[in-house]
Amino acid sequence: MYIKELSLKNFRNYEQEKIHFSPGTCLIQGANGQGKSNLLEAVYNLCFARSFRNLKESDLVYWNKPFYYLQGTLYLQNRFFKVEVGYDLLKKRKVAKINGRTTRQFRLAEYCPVVFFLPEDLELVRRGPEERRRYLDREISQESTLYADLLSRYNRVVYQKNQILKEKRHNNEIQKLIRPWNRQIVYFGSRIIHKRAQVLSTWNKLAAHNYSVLFQNDQEMKIVYNNFMGEDVLFAGIEEIEEKFSNEIVLVEKEELKRGFSLLGPHRDDITFLLGGRDARRFASHGQQRSAVIALKAAQIQLYSEKKEKPLFILDDVFSELDEWRKQQCFLLLRDAEQVFLTITKKDSCLDSFLEQATCSSFLHVKEGKILEINSNGKNRTIC
């Protein structure tokens, strides 16, 4: 899979730009705040019809403009797809089209093997459980639209239940009101937990191997899924999870009434990274924590590489956060990519060896929402 062209209109800080790409590496250079990450966000939006950031659609619209519009061509499954994604600020309406036909469910995402790596991902071990849940949901949602739909429904149900729990009513009355919501929480939540357990089980095996090979470390790495069932969830079917969930949610009813919010379900889950059997958040060095995240990212890349389509990589200024050794190990992960989008603030000597082996299709410079192509003769050409 690769992106052949991309047009942006009123998207983030881009008023109007059009770019042509080829398979290989696209190096995007520019100072901070000029629009490098916004360009990557447009690439991702073209593939999945949503932002990889936790933003409202209105936040993606250029200042004081009524809409944004993206159009591009994706080469996928041996054919070209014309993709359009737009949002009307006044009508509060988003439209996605594939080959000119409006689609409510952006099923193209199921076939797009895209791996993206953000600087904040490197801090995954050190951050709070909410950040790790968001990472987990983001990564699983991009390969499973069913999971994304289940998650959306589950979050709405939890919100409705919490609104009832916050109301000042007699306990018996509230219990009657929340039990129908609990049934939905159990239904949607069990399927979310089951999918997470499947994915984390696979990630764990691959990441453990990667950690020892990439970083030549004899410490065992393990990813633990923290949920109300413990490690039993890794061997349980959906029906077993549902039964356990139904029983457990009844037991926390009184505590939920006292606290005023929902206490049980996937919205409370977390993952723990263990290195040598110890919690990496508390006992590992900063470098070891980052190595664990790179090993996890490598596991995701390996899974995507098993598909018929070669993956597309999006890396947003990750290398400036790494030491020389970890940079080199990251470069090893990019060898099998069909297309790589890589942002940097300044030229890095570590890039030279990678670019010598890679097919560098384009070198772009971004400044104040304008994209300049750097030709091989060193002259700039505005892309329009």
- Count: domains in the chain: 1
Computed on alpha carbons and rounded to an integer, the radius of gyration of the chain in Å comes to 23
Q: What is the pLDDT of residue 379?
A: 52
364 domain residue, yes or no: yes
What does 95-123 look like in DSSP terms, one character per residue? EEEETTEE-SS-GGGGG--EEEE-GGGGG
- 3-class DSSP state of 303: helix
210 domain residue, yes or no: no
284 domain residue, yes or no: no
74 domain residue, yes or no: yes
300 domain residue, yes or no: no
57 domain residue, yes or no: yes
For 53, which DSSP code?
S
How far is 75 from 309, CA to CA, in rounded Å? 10
Res. 185: pLDDT tops 70 = yes
Q: Which residue has the higher pLDDT, 309 or 149?
A: 149
How far is 44 from 59, CA to CA, in rounded Å? 16
Q: Which residue has the higher pLDDT, 365 or 378?
A: 365
| Token pair belonging to 207 | 């990441």
Q: Which residue has the higher pLDDT, 86 or 51?
A: 86
132 domain residue, yes or no: no
For residue 173, what are the contacts with CB-CB under 8 A and spacing of at least 6?
none
Q: Is 353 exposed, middle or buried (0-12, 13-18, 19+ CB in 10 A)?
A: exposed
33 domain residue, yes or no: yes
Tell me the CATH number at 313: 3.40.50.300
Q: What is the pLDDT of residue 226?
A: 97
| Token pair belonging to 156 | 């709405």
Res. 357: pLDDT tops 70 = no
Q: Which residue has the tokens 């994604």?
A: 85
Handedness of CA 261, 262, 266, 270 (dihedral sign): positive
* Residue 180 pLDDT level (bands cut at 50, 70, 90): very high
How far is 218 from 239, CA to CA, in rounded Å? 39
Dihedral, CA of residue 56, residue 368, residue 121 and residue 281, to nearest 10: -110
The domain of 346 spans 1-112+309-384
Task: Answer whether 77's CB lies under 8 Å from 111's CB.
Answer: yes
